[in-house]
Structure 1
Amino acid sequence: MDFDFKKNTLEGTYHANFSMGHEALGRWLLEEVGKDFEVIETLFVQIKLLKHSANEWTLIGNEMTLVLSAEEAIVQENSVLHQSDEEFEDGIDFYNEESISSCGLEDFEQMIESWKAFITRF
């Protein structure tokens, strides 16, 4: 998973660019975490606890939900959680590449560490 972070110094806004298939992770990071160091520290604590556990941990946000397990991190839009296949006409596939992303727990932890280091600099 490739990513990079940028800050628009004129507007004070942050941008997170992620490789194809991981775009939802970037949206989740900006929309649900942002510069909230309390959430970031909670993520580190949960990651540490999950590394030796068979449990899952869920963080439900305003727009997106994160599910962590010992193996992976999954981010998806809350609206995707409540849709069924019956809501779509036959022959029309729901495009969810930008609505759902997953990665290994170690990659997720490295991404959060990089994000924390980035926002601490600015």
Structure 2
Amino acid sequence: MDYEFKKNTLDGTYHAIFSMGHEALGRWLIEEVGRDLEKVEHILSQIGALKNSSREWRQVGEELTLSLQDNEALVQANYLFSEDDTELDDDMHFYDEECMALCGFEDFEQMLQAWRAFVIRF
């Protein structure tokens, strides 16, 4: 999983660009975590508590939900949990790569630590 963090010097916005298949992680990081270092620390502590455990921890956000279980981190768009049976037109479909991503605890933990260091630096 490759990623890059950037800060726009003009307006001060942060950006997290992730490799294909992990785009939802970048979206989650910006929209649900942002520069909230307390939230980063809380998630890192949950990862530590859940390593090699069968327990699950979930953090439901405004748009995306983080689930930690079985040494994996899963980010999913909340609308995926909806029971709405709305069908899309034939030429319309959801782009799954932007609404769901999965990675191991080690990669996820390293990414969060890198994000924390980036936010502290800027």
Instruction: Please confirm whether the aligned pair reaches a TM-score higher than 0.5, indicating the same fold.
Output: yes
Match of 1:73 in 2: 73
Moved more, 88-97 or 112-121: 88-97
1:18–1:89 distance in 2 versus 1, CA, 3 Å: closer
State yes or no: 1:88 paired with 2:105.
no
Amino acid at match of 1:117: A
Pick which of 93-102 and 31-40 moved more.
Answer: 93-102
Gap runs ≥5 in structure 2 = none
Q: Match of 2:45?
A: 45
Q: Structure 1: which 5+ runs fail to align? A: none
Name the residue aligned to 2:102: 102
Cα distance change on mapping 1:87 and 1:6 into 2, 3 Å: same
Aligned length: 121
- Is the Cα contact below 8 Å between 2:52 and 2:71 reproduced in 1? no
Relative to structure 1, is the Cα distance of residues 89 and 117 closer, same or farther in structure 2, using a 3 angstrom cutoff?
closer
**1:52: how far off?**
3.0
Give the Cα–Cα distance (whole angstroms) in 1 for the partners of residues 83 and 98 of structure 2: 15
TM-score (ref. length: structure 2): 0.91
- Matched to 2:39, the amino acid is V
Q: Which residue of 2 aligns with 1:58?
A: 58
Does residue 32 of structure 2 align to residue 32 of structure 1? yes
**How many angstroms apart in 1 are the aligned matches of 2:44 and 2:77?**
22
Give percent identity, aligned residues only: 55
Contact map agreement 1:88 1:94 (CA 8 A) in 2 = no
Residue 88 of structure 1 aligns with an amino acid whose one-letter code is E
TM-score by length of structure 1 reads 0.91
Contact conserved, 2:3 with 2:17, CA < 8 A, in 1?
yes
Q: What is the distance in 2 between the residues matched to 1:16 and 1:90?
A: 31
- Structure 1 residue identity aligned to 2:37: F
RMSD: 1.7
